[in-house]
């Protein structure tokens, strides 16, 4: 009798751009500019470790389903590896490898003492009960108990996961090891060692880097309009905080569709509506529905892709009207779109800089857990904002120095730091 079904529907990567290739093509350009030696190049081009786990889970109907999960440790030369866990039906090992490498570069850009990792489970959490998700999360943690650790590998939320899943992970890891280990994971609920300011941290970093970029472009936030793709944690916080700075948010979108208001959307109303309607904007009356594919090419000054990978491609890049793109998502622009965007003179604050506010406050959470001491919200935001503005300035100056786009400059800053650390540590 077959009670075990293998739940594995790996999304074919053939019909989307491969994020790993997208990441590698930028890495190659930056490595060339830096004159990176072959030895270091070879060390960095592949992840240190790739773990595939099978997670059997008793579903609510009594049957056992086996989920496939991944944890990729890209690099640990700068410190314990850090990176979120994604629950999504489209999770693919190549995607997790790219996301893990992006974490290495992200942590290096903001100069925090972490390496990079990423995890994922192929599943559709929207079709699972809380109990099923809990058992799957605990199974994943148990399977990776020798990988995770406060000084080894520290997971966090990503798409499809949040404080609830991090709490289960922390609990399972703590029980398995016979001690309470809050520092094994970040993005936890506040009551169990989460940090003030973590929830809004990524969106806040997007806001800080948008303001820094507007300043360089000589634009006043109160005179610009923006479109935000994605209204999850990153997009909604970016929208509300930019709105608070006077930016007119003309378009937002989520899984239910895209919405436009020429006079600017009241973002607080949109968030209240979303929260009252199952997390979706469908039916929101403060804006008119628009074709979601048109959001990216709509007539706005700033574009904030804050949803998934590879939405800006060679097919739509020509039609982008924004002067500034600030990447809230990881990998929203495919490498094939880069030359088009550069030729059009659009400034891009790349993902590994723009969305690094999240991991920065994760780092603060970890520090607080290790100190056993809670910081005020003021202290968290003040320090995180400073890290974001310093990183922005460093990347900006690098782009001027080498006459390269901000994206490549961010890779140059990151790879240079990692390569220099290899030189000092040596030991091969």
Active site residues: 118
**Nearest approach, Cβ of residue 299 and ligand GLU (Å):** 30
Between 235 and 358, CB nearer to ligand GLU:
358
User: By CB under 6 A, what part of segment 292-351 binds ligand GLU?
Assistant: 330
Helices first, then strands: H and E counts in the chain: 14, 13
**Nearest approach, Cβ of residue 163 and ligand GLU (Å):** 12
Between 320 and 359, CB nearer to ligand GLU:
359
CA atoms in the 13 A half-sphere facing the CB of 277 = 14
**Nearest approach, Cβ of residue 394 and ligand GLU (Å):** 19
Between 170 and 265, CB nearer to ligand GLU:
170
Between 292 and 331, CB nearer to ligand GLU:
331
Calculate the CA 95 to chain-centre distance.
12
The residue from 256, 362, 381, 398 that contacts ligand GLU (CB under 6 A) is 362
Cα-Cα-Cα-Cα dihedral of 132, 137, 139, 145, to 10°? -170
**Nearest approach, Cβ of residue 413 and ligand GLU (Å):** 17
The residue count for the chain: 428
In sequence order, the 6+-apart residues with CB closer than 8 A to the CB of 324 are 210, 213, 214, 217, 219, 301, 302, 303, 346, 347, 348, 349
Q: Which DSSP category does 298 fall into?
A: S
The window from 73-81, 270-278, 280-288, 355-363 that contacts ligand GLU (CB under 6 A) reads 355-363
**Nearest approach, Cβ of residue 359 and ligand GLU (Å):** 4
Between 303 and 359, CB nearer to ligand GLU:
359
CB environment 377-398: b (16+ within 10 A), e (fewer): eeebbebbbebbeebbebbbeb
User: By CB under 6 A, what part of segment 51-110 binds ligand GLU?
Assistant: 82-84
The residue from 158, 165, 200, 254 that contacts ligand GLU (CB under 6 A) is 158
> How far apart are alpha carbons 100 and 74 in whole angstroms?
5
The residue from 36, 77, 112, 156 that contacts ligand GLU (CB under 6 A) is 156
Closest among 278, 233, 7, 10 to 136, alpha carbons compared: 7
Asked if 244 and 276 touch (Cβ cutoff 8 Å), the reply is no
Between 81 and 225, CB nearer to ligand GLU:
81
Asked if 151 and 110 touch (Cβ cutoff 8 Å), the reply is no
| Cα→Cα distances 145→66, 148, 187, 363, 387, Å | 18, 5, 18, 21, 32
Closest among 264, 185, 256 to 224, alpha carbons compared: 264
Based on the shown chain and the rule CB under 6 A, indicate whether residue 368 belongs to the binding site for ligand GLU: no
Structure tokens that stand for 366 in this block: 């970890």
Calculate the CA 298 to chain-centre distance.
24
The runs of H, that is alpha helices, within 261-349 are 267-276, 292-295, 338-343
The window from 41-49, 354-362, 379-387, 389-397 that contacts ligand GLU (CB under 6 A) reads 354-362
**Nearest approach, Cβ of residue 228 and ligand GLU (Å):** 17
Number of residues binding to ligand GLU, judged by CB under 6 A: 11
Residue closest to ligand GLU when measured from CB atoms: 84
The window from 120-128, 207-215, 353-361, 387-395 that contacts ligand GLU (CB under 6 A) reads 353-361
Based on the shown chain and the rule CB under 6 A, indicate whether residue 358 belongs to the binding site for ligand GLU: yes
> How far apart are alpha carbons 301 and 43 in whole angstroms?
40
Between 355 and 399, CB nearer to ligand GLU:
355
**Nearest approach, Cβ of residue 366 and ligand GLU (Å):** 9
The residue from 81, 141, 181, 186 that contacts ligand GLU (CB under 6 A) is 186
Between 253 and 355, CB nearer to ligand GLU:
355
Based on the shown chain and the rule CB under 6 A, indicate whether residue 209 belongs to the binding site for ligand GLU: no
**Nearest approach, Cβ of residue 40 and ligand GLU (Å):** 24
> How far apart are alpha carbons 31 and 39 in whole angstroms?
12
Q: Phi and psi dihedrals of 196, rounded to 5?
A: -60, 140
Interface ranges with ligand GLU (CB under 6 A):
82-84, 156, 158, 186, 330, 355, 358-359, 362
């Amino acid at each position: 009798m077959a009670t075990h079904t293998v739940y594995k529907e790996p999304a074919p990567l053939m019909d989307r751009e491969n994020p790993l290739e997208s990441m590698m093509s930028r890495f190659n350009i930056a490595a060339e500019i830096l004159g990176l030696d072959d030895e270091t190049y070879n060390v960095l081009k592949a992840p240190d470790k790739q773990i595939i786990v099978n997670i059997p889970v008793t579903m609510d109907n009594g049957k056992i389903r086996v989920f496939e999960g991944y944890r990729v440790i890209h690099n640990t030369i700068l410190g314990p590896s850090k990176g979120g866990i994604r629950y999504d039906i489209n999770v693919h090992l190549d995607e997790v490898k790219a996301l893990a490498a992006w974490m290495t570069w992200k942590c290096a850009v903001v100069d925090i003492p972490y390496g990079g990792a990423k995890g994922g489970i192929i599943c559709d959490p929207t079709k699972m009960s809380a109990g099923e998700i809990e058992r799957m999360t605990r199974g994943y943690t148990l399977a990776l108990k020798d990988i995770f650790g406060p000084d080894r590998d520290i997971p966090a939320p990503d798409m499809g996961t949040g404080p609830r899943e991090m709490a289960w992970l922390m609990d399972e890891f703590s029980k398995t090891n016979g001690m309470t280990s809050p520092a094994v994971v970040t993005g936890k609920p506040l009551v169990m060692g989460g940090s003030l300011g973590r929830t809004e941290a990524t969106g806040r970093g997007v806001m800080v880097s948008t303001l820094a970029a507007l300043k360089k472009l000589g634009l006043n936030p109160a005179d610009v309009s923006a479109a935000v793709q994605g209204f999850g944690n990153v997009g909604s916080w970016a929208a509300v905080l930019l709105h608070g700075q006077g930016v007119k948010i003309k378009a937002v979108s989520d899984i239910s569709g895209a919405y436009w208001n020429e006079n600017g959307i009241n973002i607080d109303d949109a968030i209240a509506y979303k929260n009252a309607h199952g997390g979706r904007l469908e039916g929101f009356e403060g804006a008119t529905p628009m074709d979601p594919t048109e959001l990216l090419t709509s007539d706005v000054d700033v574009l904030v892709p804050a949803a998934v990978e590879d939405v800006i491609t060679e097919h739509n890049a020509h039609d982008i009207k924004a002067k500034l793109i600030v990447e809230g998502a990881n990998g929203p622009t495919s490498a094939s779109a880069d030359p088009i965007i550069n030729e059009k003179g659009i400034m891009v604050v790349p993902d590994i800089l723009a969305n690094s506010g999240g991991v920065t406050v994760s780092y603060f959470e970890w520090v607080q857990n290790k100190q056993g001491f809670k910081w005020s919200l003021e202290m968290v935001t003040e320090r995180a904002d400073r890290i974001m503005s310093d990183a922005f300035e460093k990347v900006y100056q690098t782009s001027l120095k080498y006459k390269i786009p901000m994206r490549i400059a961010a890779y140059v800053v990151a790879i240079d730091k990692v390569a220099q650390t290899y030189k000092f540590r040596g030991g091969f």
